[in-house]
């Protein structure tokens, strides 16, 4: 396990765990963003669960369960490809940087996990 992998994975875990907490708390910015994107508010909690599951899977990968870490990284990559896709579909570009950065982090984590 490389130092780069640990650093990137920990950053990805932190970003997704904090995003999940914001989803669970139904933060105003989360609800405003979901409304702007046309994502029903009823989806906010389940999407938060997916982010938290990804963070926990990456943590399991760091704990030695390599397969879970790789599976979680794949799941997060797919999740954020979908998030960026929704932004593109709805033409909401002013805040696309966040899901794009999360996609880059998840992709880097996946790359370093399998390298």
List the domain boundaries for the chain.
3-114
Q: What is the residue-averaged pLDDT of the chain?
A: 97
pLDDT in tens, 41-93: 999 999 999 999 999 999 999 999 999 999 999 999 999 999 999 999 999 99
pLDDT of residue 37: 97
- The DSSP code sequence of the chain is --HHHHHHHHHHHHHHHHHHHHHHTT-HHHHHHHHHHT--GGGHHHHHHHHHHHHHHHHHHHTT-HHHHHHHHHHHHHHHHHHHHHHHHHT--TTTHHHHHHHHHHHHHHHHHH-
Please check the confidence at residue 1 and state whether its pLDDT lies above 90.
no
Q: What does the pLDDT average to over 87-111?
A: 97
Please check the confidence at residue 28 and state whether its pLDDT lies above 80.
yes
Q: Of all residues in the chain, what percent carry a pLDDT higher than 90?
A: 98
pLDDT of residue 114: 95
């Amino acid at each position: 396990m490389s130092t780069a992998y640990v650093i990137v994975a920990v950053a990805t875990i932190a970003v997704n765990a904090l995003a999940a907490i914001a989803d669970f708390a139904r933060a105003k910015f989360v609800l405003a963003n979901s409304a702007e994107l046309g994502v029903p508010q009823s989806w906010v909690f389940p999407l938060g669960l997916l982010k938290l599951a990804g963070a926990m899977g990456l943590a399991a990968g760091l704990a030695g369960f390599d397969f879970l870490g790789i599976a979680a990284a794949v799941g997060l990559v797919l999740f954020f490809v979908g998030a960026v896709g929704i932004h593109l579909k709805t033409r909401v570009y002013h805040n696309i940087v966040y899901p794009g950065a999360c996609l880059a982090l998840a992709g880097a984590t996946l790359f370093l996990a399998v390298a």
